[in-house]
Amino acid sequence: MSELLLELFSEEIPARMQKQAAADLARLVGDALKANGLEAKELETAVGPRRVVLVARGLPKTQPDTTEERKGPQVGAPEQAIQGFLKAAGLNSLDDAEKREMPKGVFYFAVTKKPGRATAVVVKEIIEAALPQMPWPKSMRWASNPTRWVRPLHGILCVLDGKVVPVSFGGVTAAATTRGHRFLAPGFIAVRDFADYKAKLMKANVLVDPAERSAIITTTLATLAAAEGLTVKDDPGLVAEVTGLVEWPVPLLGTIDAKYMDVPAEVLTSAMRKHQKYFALTTKQGKLSNRFGVVANMATADKGKAIVAGNEKVLRPRLSDAKFFWDQDKKRSLEERLPKLEERVFQAKLGTVRAKVERMVVLAAYLAKPVGADVEAARRAALLSKADLSTEMVGEFPDLQGIMGRYYALHDNESADVAQAIAEHYSPLGPNDSCPSAALSVVVSLADKIDSLMGFFAINEKPTGSKDPYALRRAALGVIRIILENKLRLPLLAAFDYALGSYEGFVSGIDRDKVAREVLEFFADRLKAHLRDKGVRHDLVSAVFALGNEDDLVRLMDRVDALTAFVKSDDGANLLVAYRRAANIVRIEEKKDNTSYKGDISDADLGAPEAAALLSAIAPAEDIVGKALAKEDFTAAMESLATLRRPVDTFFDKVKVNADEAAQRTARLRLLSRIEAAMNRVADFSKIEG
């Protein structure tokens, strides 16, 4: 078995592109190897700032031999057809062909055996075909070379069992050499295989494996921080990015000048992370420390003192700008900034951000009562929620919108609840983000998201397929999570209709009922996806939504939970089978007779004691179901339905539904229709799968 080592060496590759590039290279080469009968037993990748590496182990020495067959004309066919077959198959005469008995007679066959080609020959073709197909998000040309690559390509290392495979791409021909660290060991290095490659590059100050670089960054930074009683703020995204920026990671600690420490911690953290890729450190109390972590790409004789000093120097103007913005922004209150929101377009058809804020104020006041928040505080928080968008700080650090609003609100002597609502009204930003729980925060967050959903649906800007430019799926999921996690009894259709009322001045001809129901259907799809991730069956959600007008998500989930327990029980599972049988019979007979079998049932017409017994069991069960539903005790409703299991089973075992007497047949079909109706009061059981 053979080992193939391939390295593409270039100028610095953007960190965000590296992981996918390694995966794409493995996919393109791996699939081509398999298609050519050279499937590798193992594929391994490595990637760094200047190189993408692929190792394929367990390759055969040659391709397997193959046999090609070509069917020819029938024996006795005209000479012209036979000569055409011999020429196409490359045969000298019919003596070189086989005769085979086929269902329609005896036919000639040309059988050609092809020996497998050497792996090195095939590998060269595969790699040269794969490299132009690399799907870089952005690529470039350089010099007079027409080839496109992410950055100028300087070298290709390609060896198979220690021998060079002369791959040619981008004006570069492969060799058995690579290069070490750009500054610490820039010379050429000859290698034989991957083990030799890794070992020699490590001596040349290059760690090929990104996992090793990541581990060094995290563990060394943690050790340095712990020595000073500090903790590195958890930031996997920054670790991944810095891992892609360095080949020889050397973590160090720097110091933030004391004069900047009165700037909000989030600002300092964002400035360091966004501009300099520095790691924030916190004290045992969770406060931002005046120390930060920086990862150098080389070791120095002074143990990094000059590097730290240089990074501290570079950081000062960044933090100086942030402090300037902070000091300047505080000179004007959030309320004074509201007119500037008129200069910001929310959406061309839906008005400005100021118009959105005014709609949020109205909607927040409406939502305050069911959520349990103070109405005036809700209006105030909604009014100021977007004001920080016109501050210098948010202009520089957009990721701090809402957060800076809280700081400025507190500076303006707004209440702590209002300030918190401003900070949290964008939440949750994703499936892993926490939901607001404070009443005022919940109100403003719901107002923001519901307003957006109603507006975009009203102008028919709905998500389609994989496209969701206005993040409406995220907004809907945010509303769902806020309601469920806070157990809010909020009738959504009424809230949707109320929100649409504020849009009538912006969008003409809104069918408020239609739009509200479209959004509720959209919520149903989002809820199914959300619950599917939690292991809840989507068909049970559909069964509850199919009742119509179920817009209380907490009540809906109680129904779903009760329904889940019901269908898992033995009685429930068997009754579900009986329900399907009853529903199918009624549907077929109604279609055949062109009539409905809903109506009163006479005991005398049933004509069988088992049918009468079932009718006697239905009435009390219906009564219990009705009372349980009124009290929203869905478990009790399901338990009452479960009592029908045995009389239903007995009915189907002993009674002929399509009786010979018309009155009996009608009564029995009405009995089945009544069973279906009784069960469908709790959920639409026809939607349940399995």
Q: Find the CATH number of the domain harbouring 678.
A: 1.10.730.10
554-582 mean pLDDT: 89
In a domain, 125, yes or no: yes
1-22 mean pLDDT: 95
In a domain, 355, yes or no: yes
Read off the amino acid at residue 490.
L
30-55 mean pLDDT: 94
The CA distance from 236 to 239, in Å, is: 5
For residue 506, what pLDDT band results from cuts at 50, 70 and 90? confident
Q: 56-80: per-residue pLDDT in tens?
A: 999 999 888 877 888 999 998 898 9
Residues 312 and 379 in one domain: no
* Residue 673: exposure state from Cβ atoms within 10 A (0-12, 13-18, ≥19): buried
Residues 488 and 604 in one domain: no
651-677 mean pLDDT: 89
Residues 228 and 302 in one domain: yes
Q: 132-168: per-residue pLDDT in tens?
A: 999 999 999 998 888 999 999 999 999 999 999 999 9
Residues 6+ apart with CB under 8 A from 391: 325, 329, 337, 404, 408
Residue 111: predicted pLDDT = 86
Residue 449: predicted pLDDT = 97
CATH of the domain at 420: 1.10.3210
Res. 603: pLDDT tops 80? no
Decide: 405 and 387 in contact? Cβ < 8 Å: yes
649-661 mean pLDDT: 88
Helix, coil or strand: residue 367: helix
Residues 325 and 228 in one domain: yes
197-220 mean pLDDT: 97
In a domain, 51, yes or no: yes
The mean-pLDDT minimum among 10-24, 300-314, 646-660 falls in 646-660
Residues 339 and 317 in one domain: no
Residues 323 and 439 in one domain: no
Res. 259: pLDDT tops 90? yes
Residues 316 and 354 in one domain: no
Residues 499 and 570 in one domain: no
For residue 690, what pLDDT band results from cuts at 50, 70 and 90? low
Decide: 224 and 254 in contact? Cβ < 8 Å: no
Q: How many CB atoms lie within 10 A of CB 287?
A: 9
Residues 316 and 362 in one domain: no
In a domain, 540, yes or no: no
Decide: 524 and 472 in contact? Cβ < 8 Å: no
Q: 298-350: per-residue pLDDT in tens?
A: 999 999 999 999 999 999 999 999 999 999 999 999 999 999 999 999 999 99
DSSP 8-class letter at 300: -
205-219 mean pLDDT: 97
Select from 298, 329, 360 the last residue of a domain. 329
In a domain, 558, yes or no: no
Domain that holds residue 37: 2-62+119-203
Residues 460 and 522 in one domain: yes
Residues 232 and 296 in one domain: yes
Backbone angles phi, psi at 435, to 5 degrees: -90, 150
Residues 645 and 664 in one domain: yes
610-624 mean pLDDT: 90
Res. 538: pLDDT tops 90? no
Joined tokens for residue 30 = 């791996």
- Share the mean pLDDT of the chain: 92
Read off the amino acid at residue 328.
Q
Residue 418: predicted pLDDT = 97
Report which of residues 385 and 652 the model is more confident about: 385
Structural domains counted in the chain:
5
Select from 307, 329, 351 the last residue of a domain. 329
For residue 659, what pLDDT band results from cuts at 50, 70 and 90? confident
Decide: 249 and 241 in contact? Cβ < 8 Å: no
In a domain, 67, yes or no: no
For residue 412, what pLDDT band results from cuts at 50, 70 and 90? very high
Helix, coil or strand: residue 585: helix
- Measured CA to CA in angstroms, residue 676 lies from 308, 378, 397, 618, 648 at distances of 76, 46, 59, 11, 11
Give this prediction's pTM: 0.80
Residue 397: predicted pLDDT = 93
Res. 384: pLDDT tops 80? yes
In a domain, 544, yes or no: no
Decide: 267 and 393 in contact? Cβ < 8 Å: yes
Give the DSSP letter string of 160-204.
ETTEE---EETTEE-BSEEE--TTT--SEEE-SSHHHHHHHHHHT
Report which of residues 261 and 274 the model is more confident about: 261
CATH of the domain at 10: 3.30.70
In a domain, 607, yes or no: yes
For the chain, state the CA radius of gyration: 36
Select from 535, 553, 576 the last residue of a domain. 535
